[in-house]
Structure 1
Amino acid sequence: MKKKVRVAIIGAGAIAEGVHIPNYLKCEEKVELVAVCDVIEEKAKALAQKVNIPYAFSSYEEMFKSVEIDAVSICTPNKFHYPATIAALNAGCHVLCEKPPAMTVEEATEMAETAEKVGKILTYGFHFRHAPEVEALKRFTEQGELGEIYAARVTAMRRRGIPGWGVFTNKELQGGGPLIDIGVHMLDTALYLMDYPEPDTVFGVTYQKLGKRKGVGLMGEWDWENFSIEDMARGMITFKNGASILLDTAFAANVEKHDDMNVSLMGDKGGADVFPLKIYQEKHDLLVNTTPSHLPHKGNHELEIERFVEACLTGGPTISNGVEGVYLQQIINGLYESAEKGEAIKLQRAIQV
């Protein structure tokens, strides 16, 4: 019988309980959940007891000393991704870290370099990569059906979708607002479909117009009196290969749709919108639109966990990696820096590919 992957969870919040643990349990023939860690020990113990995990800790350093662990899911607030990842990698564990990679480019770079040094997997929770629309379009792009993808538009907009739970409105713990939380998902999806070109220059603006006053909350009542993030961000990214991306993302904006998550690609042989999937081409002297009549579907998070487990068992590649995490972190931090300074930011190469 093949050895099971012994998995620990760092961070006992909603993403751990609602996403990671249920999907590891679906892999029960390949996974043994052995420990939960949270700085609030009572939370760790309560979650461990609820899902029948044998060990609970308030310190991951103590956890790594006490329990044999092969792989870790890091489900903490963004500020703690970096130290937990470094500790897990140095303890000999593979790591699935929730998005975004870190708070700074330097942190993301050290995470990627440490994973390479110790020979362990480092992958990130970009679950939209596992969506059936993205997987289908990736096959089209790999076959050259869109040609050279030279432009993209990224949208991650909510009308009144400021989270009313957790620490999403706390800049110190999260690093920012919609750009680093939901915008990062669609930005990563676009970059993935464009084969992750190296970024060159970014220009960004951020706004704080709606979040600091009480209003209608479609995702619960947020702490508007202590709202320290942007409620909207816009940006343009150019890449060393000449491509560009326009980005719009918001937790709260006066737009029609309550929730709009999409990526549009434009290539010299075709274009596409991802959600829902539509492909636009010129063929046989006609402008042709293609839509799939059926897409096989398994939950994005389920596939993410399933593929991470399989990579841990086989040593095979993961769908995202540390170098891509560095590029993404460069863009996010560059857009915030640009918004603060009011000028475009030229990005420097942060890591050797």
Structure 2
Amino acid sequence: MADKLRVGIVGAGGIAQGAHIPNYKKCGERVEIVAVADVAVDRAEACAKAHDIPHFFGSVDEMLSSAELDAVSICTPNKFHSVSTLAALKAGCHVLCEKPPAMTVAEAEEMAATAKAAGKYLTYGFHYRHSQEVETLKRFIRDGELGDIYAATAIALRRRGIPGWGVFTNKELQGGGPLIDIGVHMLDTALYLMGYPEPETVFGATYQKLGTREGVGMMGSWDWKNFSVEDMARGMIRFKNGASLVLESAFAANIGKSDEMQVKLMGDIGGAEVFPLEVYQEKHETLINATPAYMPQRNSYEVEVARFVDACLGGPAPISTPEQGVMLQRIINGLYDSAESGAPVKL
């Protein structure tokens, strides 16, 4: 078993510099960040200088051919997740790819197949799975405290939270808006807690009501003249085991809260809301709401990166798998297809 992981970063934007690089550095002597690559080579150079990374490159291929690496973080716009991941896997690297897995189901399937053929880990940046709330509730579920979970709701809503930076409003580069960006987080969290049941049918609706006009931005000013994604997506998923999930996601919606990220679960023994954690049960002829008196808090990005490093160095395998990524991509693309056609889509 190796004692140090040599890491490369693909994409020198906010998620790389705000989440991946700092948390690799927290792993201390177990990790060496060797290189960073970005199509804007000046940005790669600035990132390397800011974080004391010895090498920078203008492409992922150049980095993979020039630097000795064991693992790679993919922090690019969604359009480039697949090509960057495939290149890294074929070069013999483990991969931590930011969410969503890809732009299409075919891309996600090829990524999963390539990881299996290469014998390398491929995991995705669903950091909410690593939060204390989700891990605690997962233990409740494993112990049967909720019973058969037959209904769920996943919510990722912002009142006026259209990102004023990056390419989040560019459909060509991202594949969509809030559904594929923030909605995917709560969708994955709900599916993970439900045991990732196999989807059967999805029905979706998307809206572009607020993003294409000038307005108040709580996350900076956005380019409303070139806003090409949905600003709201809603949907319902029915699973082969009979369970169902309702999803709401928006960058901009006329709601009371500035934002809400929430998963709600309903089982035949108990139910729960995750953020903050509260469990609902009926015991001793009494309806009970149970909330933690104390629960240690932690940075879920830090835990995600540390666990990826552990896995690459011979520890437990990542909890987010390529196969789950394929299933999630089927749901996302199915919801978009349904929204476009106006009809349910059978997966």
Q: TM-score, normalised by structure 1?
A: 0.97
> Deviations along 1:177-211, whole A, 9 cap, x unmatched?
00000000000000000010111100000000000
Task: Report the equivalent of 1:168.
Answer: 168
Equivalent position SS for 1:56: strand
**Shift of the alpha carbon at 1:176?**
0.2
Task: Report the equivalent of 2:252.
Answer: 252
Task: Report the equivalent of 2:9.
Answer: 9
Instruction: Note the 1:136-175 alignment, pairs <5 A.
Output: 136-175=136-175
Instruction: Note the 1:1-353 alignment, pairs <5 A.
Output: 3-314=3-314, 316-347=316-347
Partners of 1:69 and 1:283 in 2: how far apart? 54
For 1:187, the aligned partner's letter is L
Partners of 2:194 and 2:2 in 1: how far apart? 36
**Shift of the alpha carbon at 1:315?**
5.0
For 1:218, the aligned partner's letter is M
> Deviations along 1:192-249, whole A, 9 cap, x unmatched?
0001011110000000000000000000000000000000010000111111000111
List, as ranges, runs of 4+ consecutive aligned residues in structure 1 with deviation greater than 2 Å: none
> Deviations along 1:13-70, whole A, 9 cap, x unmatched?
0111111000001002210000000001111111111111111001211211111100
Equivalent position SS for 2:20: helix
**Shift of the alpha carbon at 1:272?**
0.3
**Shift of the alpha carbon at 1:3?**
2.1
Q: TM-score, normalised by structure 2?
A: 0.99
Partners of 1:95 and 1:2 in 2: how far apart? 17
For 2:167, the aligned partner's letter is V
**Shift of the alpha carbon at 1:2?**
5.4
Partners of 1:159 and 1:49 in 2: how far apart? 37
Partners of 1:335 and 1:89 in 2: how far apart? 29
Unaligned runs of 5+ in 2: none
For 2:147, the aligned partner's letter is G
Equivalent position SS for 1:22: helix
Identity among equivalent pairs (%) = 68
Partners of 2:52 and 2:277 in 1: how far apart? 40
Report the number of matched residues: 347
Unaligned runs of 5+ in 1: 348-353
Task: Report the equivalent of 1:351.
Answer: none
Task: Report the equivalent of 1:350.
Answer: none
Partners of 2:316 and 2:218 in 1: how far apart? 41
Equivalent position SS for 2:29: coil
Partners of 1:16 and 1:114 in 2: how far apart? 24
For 1:279, the aligned partner's letter is V
For 2:117, the aligned partner's letter is K
For 2:243, the aligned partner's letter is A
Equivalent position SS for 1:235: strand
For 1:11, the aligned partner's letter is G
**Shift of the alpha carbon at 1:283?**
0.9
For 2:288, the aligned partner's letter is V
> Deviations along 1:71-100, whole A, 9 cap, x unmatched?
000000000000000000000000000000
Equivalent position SS for 1:254: coil
> Deviations along 1:317-348, whole A, 9 cap, x unmatched?
1010100000100000000000000000000x
Equivalent position SS for 2:36: strand
For 1:339, the aligned partner's letter is A
Equivalent position SS for 1:29: helix
Equivalent position SS for 2:28: coil
Equivalent position SS for 1:8: strand
> Deviations along 1:242-268, whole A, 9 cap, x unmatched?
110001110000000001000000001
Equivalent position SS for 2:246: strand
Equivalent position SS for 1:192: helix
| RMSD of aligned Cα (Å) | 0.9
Equivalent position SS for 1:314: coil
